[in-house]
Amino acid sequence: MALIVHKYGGTSMGSVERIRNVAKRVAKWHKAGHRLVVVLSAMAGETNRLLSLVQKISEQPNPRELDMITSTGEQVSVGLLSIALQEEGIDAASYAGWQVAIKTDSAFTKARINEINDKRVLTDLNAGKVVVIAGFQGVDPDGYITTLGRGGSDTSAVAIAAAMRADECLIYTDVDGVYVTDPRVVEKARRLDQITFEEMLEMASLGSKVLQIRSVECAGKYRVKTRVLSSLIDPMIPLDEEMCSGTLITFEENEKMEQAVISGIAFQRDEARIAVINVPDKIDIAYQILGPIAEANIDVDMINQNSGIEGKTDLAFTVNRGDYKHAMNILSYHSKEYINAQRVLGNPQVSKVSLVGVGMRSHVGVASKMFHTLSEEGINIQMISTSEIKISVLIDERFIECAVRALYKEFDLEKT
């Protein structure tokens, strides 16, 4: 009798019919003798709908109120699923994050989980109930509702699995696992049976939204056995078949791992590039430019500084497109007042494409092959960044899908 955490995303909960199927699947696991905690997202489109209501009233809403609003989608989901489970003859109880309690810090809209009290959940499980918990939300030390950032239900599920030492965390979604690249862009992309934790972390941080990055960090920190699988297949398929479907995140490379140099292609569409031109080439110039950006809590991703010529240099960096206007406003002010820059150039229409693979550690020539492939497609590279197991390039957003498809083909990724 294992303790299993299931997580169902927005599409999986997207209609009454799908909710009934989730209930059937959960009931099947419960009837097989397992103890089940189910973590849910809001129904598909609901969080966006709530955010658009807010946008109609304010361009810069108070984040505390924002969390009060966006957390409601998940609350509807847990109530609906509990009722659907009861219709299946299963005793189920639903909880909002604060009722569990899932305790977070007070960083509204991007809170971090500090502690999970599983007492109430255990009492229900011991009484034979299925426990259904609202994902994406928690409660801060002052009792205010917080949310964990977009896609945060993945993190809720893995964190609950870690706190309760669950045997497995199953992330059910609208694709049947983790693919070499987003199957919406490369239709025939190959699904991976396993992916190392390190690679999954890179893929998530480089834009593959199949798992929220914090959920992968949490799985790694607490060694949570995590599997990504489909909620859209027949809920009544035999349990042993379901238990080995999808993609397993592994913590050690083993002989079953595919020996590929590249495991995946990730991409992030909504990037923006800012270049500060002709600034004095002096010791603290990077700090002078990026310090005010950090103070405004804006994440900087790629950074590139030219080697100085005649005492002058250029520094370029990227931010998420949502932070672009704010970052440009800060720099326009600072470039005149303090930095003494000739110009600040901005381009909010760029995207990042990345190759990921632990095999890159022992292979040379991956970068040059990537650059050649892109040049053959007539795609100009605006910035480059690398780590031991990834290469990322910044390109015009219009070419992102073309770049992903060309790289998929050139690196022979349909082959196992």
Binders in 207-266 for ligand ADP, by CB under 6 A: 208-210, 264
Q: Is 73 a residue that touches ligand ASP (CB under 6 A)?
A: yes
Q: Kind and range of the H or E element at 242?
A: helix 239-243
Q: Is 11 a residue that touches ligand ADP (CB under 6 A)?
A: yes
Q: Residues touching ligand ASP: how many (CB under 6 A)?
A: 13
> How does DSSP assign 166-217, residue by residue?
-SEEEEEESSSS-BSS-TTTSTTPPBPSEEEHHHHHHHHHTT-TTS-HHHHH
- Residue 250's beta-bridge partner residues? 196
Q: Is 151 a residue that touches ligand ASP (CB under 6 A)?
A: yes
Pairing of strands 390-396, 383-387: antiparallel
* Closest to Mg ion by CB, 9 or 97: 9
Cβ at position 154, least distance to ligand ASP in Å: 6
CA dist 389 and 34 (Å) reads 38
Cβ at position 147, least distance to ligand ASP in Å: 8
Q: Is 22 a residue that touches ligand ADP (CB under 6 A)?
A: no
Q: Is 288 a residue that touches ligand ASP (CB under 6 A)?
A: no
Q: Which of 19-43 are b and which e, b meaning 16 or more Cβ less than 10 Å from the residue's Cβ?
A: bbbbbebbbbbbeeebbbbbbbbbb
Of 41-49, 103-111, 250-258, 335-343: span binding ligand ASP (CB under 6 A): 41-49
> How does DSSP assign 60-129, residue by residue?
S--HHHHHHHHTHHHHHHHHHHHHHHHHTT--EEEE-HHHHTEEE-S-TTS--EEEE--HHHHHHHHTTP
Q: Are 367 and 385 in contact (CB under 8 A)?
A: no
Q: Which of 339-374 are b and which e, b meaning 16 or more Cβ less than 10 Å from the residue's Cβ?
A: bebeebebbbebbbbbbbbbbbeeeeebeebbeebb
Binders in 340-369 for ligand ASP, by CB under 6 A: none
CA dist 353 and 313 (Å) reads 26
Cβ at position 16, least distance to ligand ASP in Å: 18
Residue 174: name its binding partner from Mg ion, ligand ASP, ligand ADP, none (Cβ under 5 to 8 Å by kind): ligand ADP
Q: Is 14 a residue that touches ligand ASP (CB under 6 A)?
A: no
* Closest to Mg ion by CB, 40 or 92: 40
349 CB-near residues (< 8 Å, 6+ apart): 272, 396, 397, 398
Of 119-127, 167-175, 368-376, 403-411: span binding ligand ADP (CB under 6 A): 167-175
Q: For the chain, what is the total number of helices (H) and then of strands (E)?
A: 14, 18
CA dist 111 and 147 (Å) reads 6
82, 192, 356 from 182: Cα distances, Å: 32, 12, 13
* Contact string (CB under 5 A) for Mg ion, positions 1-20, x = contact: --------x-----------
CA dihedral 192, 194, 195, 200 (to 10 degrees): 80
- For ligand ADP, the binding residue among 4, 10, 40, 279 (CB under 6 A) is 10
Position of minimal CB gap to Mg ion: 151
Cβ at position 48, least distance to ligand ASP in Å: 7
Of 6-14, 141-149, 280-288, 399-407: span binding ligand ADP (CB under 6 A): 6-14
CA dist 387 and 110 (Å) reads 26
Q: Is 269 a residue that touches ligand ADP (CB under 6 A)?
A: no
Of 179, 172, 213, 182, the C-alpha closest to 195 is 179
- For ligand ADP, the binding residue among 97, 151, 152, 235 (CB under 6 A) is 151
Q: Is 135 a residue that touches Mg ion (CB under 5 A)?
A: no
Of 4-12, 236-244, 303-311, 352-360: span binding ligand ADP (CB under 6 A): 4-12
Q: Residues touching Mg ion: how many (CB under 5 A)?
A: 2
Cβ at position 244, least distance to ligand ASP in Å: 25
Binders in 90-149 for ligand ASP, by CB under 6 A: 135-136
Residue 208: name its binding partner from Mg ion, ligand ASP, ligand ADP, none (Cβ under 5 to 8 Å by kind): ligand ADP
The residues of the shown chain that bind ligand ADP, judged by CB under 6 A, are 9-12, 41, 151, 173-175, 178-179, 181-184, 208-210, 264
The residues of the shown chain that bind ligand ASP, judged by CB under 6 A, are 9-10, 41-42, 47, 73, 135-136, 150-154
The residues of the shown chain that bind Mg ion, judged by CB under 5 A, are 9, 151
